[in-house]
Chain A
Amino acid sequence: MRANDQVIFENVSKFYGDVLGVNRVSLSIPPGITSLVGPNGSGKTTLMNLMTGLIRPSRGAIRVLGIRTDNPEELFRYVGYCTQFDSFPKGFTGYQFVYSYLRLYGCAHGEAEDLTWKAIERVGLVEPARRKIAGYSKGMRQRIKLAQSICHGPSVLVLDEPLNGLDPLVRAETIALFRVLAEDGMHVIISSHILHEVDQISDQVILLSNGYVVAEGQIRGVRSEMQDHPMQILVRCNHPGRLAAKVFEQDSVVEAQIHKDGLGVLVKTRDPDKFYLLLNHIAQNGVTIESVAPADDDVNSVYEYLIGSEEAGR
């Protein structure tokens, strides 16, 4: 993949006086959906502000699709940003909100009008577009913010907590929109606290804690590299007791626990590959295995292992 297709952080640090924003961040973000995950104050918004050029790094360099972030005239042709907080000029309608920012972007009246309607249509707000934003629901506000961030056709879309306040139906529609944009080749970079949704929608995750990147990449890849936390695998079978006894003979198996419902075994192993080979062997010796599924290779578990302990220790 070419560097011009990626958002690249090279040893980036940002300090607000003596307050640490992020420290020594080196990342390459490819197209697709990337989620920034971390507790409050971990540096998610700082990272977003850095990649949108709203703040300058204290150290290091950032390039978005090969463009330096201190070149706003060029950068914002390609970047769209949806902030975390609502910021609507008083008395504006949804249409005026999107239209005014397009004029600021540099579109003439006719083109701004066309692009406004296209963006509004994309987020499904055509009918209430002429109504004042003050009367919008939280979900509608999120969607009109999303419209203003995609209206100029950016290649990199940076969304700070875009799913906040959306009801399940609208959330599903919004996630579907992210998917469509990402499949078209757009970088969709999202920060979110809703871990199970991050897990569903992300192609890759970046886990942040106290201003440091603690893990990055595809979530399963991240999980497999966490050697100090044995992998948990749930095996559904007809003889859980026999299976537990068999697997426990393996050196790499740390723990084997009959599941609460009595229909499976939860195994903790340091060597999943070896364990899967063993399972093949066991399956040929009278135990019917119904399903085998990793139980902790999701964002939630990785977050808990990497960040949860630090949070608890604070």
Chain B
Amino acid sequence: MAVYKRSYRPYTGRLTPAWSRFFVLTRYAMRGMFKSKFLTAVFVLSFFSPLICALLIYLNHNPAILTMLHARHNEVVSVDGQFFLGFLGVQGGIAFFLTAFIGPNTIAPDLANGALPLYFCRPFSRAEYVLGKLCSLFYLLSFITWIPALVLFGIEANLSGAGWMWEHRSLAIGSLLSSWIYILMISFSAMALSAWVKWRIAAGALMLAAMFLLSGFGAAINAVLRSNIGFYISPGALITRVSSQLFGLDSPINVSAGSAWVALLVMCGICLALLAKKVRAFEVVR
């Protein structure tokens, strides 16, 4: 059949900007996440700790209540680096638990269903795919970690005055940076596991096991070799070290902050390499 006349007209309408297209994936992923009642319940519960902290900050600045409690200012709670480190420690635990629950569901279903060719036969790259999935975790975990931390910082600044805010700006920056590196690390780990372990429950269990086993293994290395190199394979220790540095606190983890940053970035890099190996538009059957 010779085609002499093309009557077919492809779509030539307006398109959304290319840079924002990965948000489509984020929106769908988040919608999928919140279909789980368990996740929604844990997410709501994660606001319990910020509420308590906000209440404590309020009590700390309310002279009437302080008088009633026979306490002085800063005796109820001292809003400093230790306060934010502790707060982010609690919230980080919840975030990790949630990530172990939802993270394995990010990529595994697409791989199991062979959906990747469908994503990539659009003007849509592998990096955008990973970014879209990462953003869904990043948004969720942000609401648990650095956003409430900044809200608490804002409340304290509001009650203490602008001078306090400027003087303690390192607390806000520390909350932001330590949360970001933590979110990135656990999100990349969850996604890498999701890409390699298709069974959701196994991937979740593996994530929990990896965190605890690596910490245990690191401690064992430190004890046997009487050194500190075991900390470098313990994500928890590394996060604690960089957070302490960011909040200007002494840390029980005896490694330099710079090397802890490098070790965390290497861990993220390994997870990205694992993702790059799996997130492809085709599968080689040998």
Contacts and interface: CB of A to CB of B under 8 A. Distances in A.
Interface of A: 16-17, 19, 30-33, 45, 49, 52-55, 72-81, 83, 85-91, 100-101, 103-108, 111, 115, 148, 152-155, 181-186, 203
Contact of A73 (B35, B118, B123): B123
A154 B10 contact: yes
A87 B115 contact: yes
Contacts, number: 126
Given A72-B123, A103-B24, A185 B3 contact: yes
Given A79-B121, A108-B14, A54 B5 contact: no
Given A100-B28, A185-B8, A55 B281 contact: yes
A87 B114 contact: yes
A54 B3 contact: no
Contact of B8 (A16, A81, A186): A186
A153 B11 contact: yes
A77 B120 CA distance: 13
Interface in B1-21: 1-3, 5-11, 13-16, 18, 21
Given A77-B10, A89-B28, A90-B109, A52 B121 contact: yes
B32 A90 contact: yes
Interface residues of B, number: 39
Nearest to A149: B121
B109 A89 contact: yes
B226 interface: no
10 contacts: A19-B286, A45-B282, A54-B121, A73-B123, A87-B117, A87-B118, A104-B25, A108-B16, A111-B13, A185-B3
Interface of B: 1-3, 5-11, 13-16, 18, 21, 24-25, 28, 32, 35, 109-110, 113-115, 117-125, 281-282, 284, 286
Contacts of B3: 30-32, 182-183, 185
Contacts of B35: 91
Nearest to B22: A104
Given A91-B35, A106-B15, A148-B118, A17 B284 contact: yes
Contacts of B18: 73, 106
Contact of A88 (B6, B11, B113, B117): B113
A91 B7 CA distance: 37
A76 B15 contact: no
Central interface residue in B14, B28, B118, B121, by most chain A CB within 10 Å: B121
Nearest to B35: A91
Given A49-B117, A89-B28, A104-B25, A76 B10 contact: no
Contacts of A111: 13-14
A87 B24 CA distance: 17
A101 B1 contact: no
A73 to B, nearest CB: 5
Given A31-B3, A104-B119, 18 more contacts: A45-B282, A72-B120, A77-B123, A78-B10, A81-B121, A89-B28, A91-B35, A100-B24, A100-B28, A104-B122, A107-B15, A111-B13, A153-B8, A154-B10, A183-B1, A184-B8, A185-B5, A185-B7
A16 B125 CA distance: 20
A91 B125 CA distance: 25
Given A55-B281, A72-B124, A115-B11, A184 B6 contact: yes
Nearest to B286: A19
Contacts of A148: 118
A169 to B, nearest CB: 24
A19 B32 CA distance: 38
Contacts of A33: 1
A130 to B, nearest CB: 17
Contacts of B9: 153
Nearest to B23: A103
A140 B114 CA distance: 18
Contacts of A19: 284, 286
B11 A83 contact: no
Q: What 7 A-B pairs are tightest by C-beta distance, nearest first?
A: A185-B6, A106-B15, A54-B281, A87-B115, A184-B8, A81-B121, A153-B11
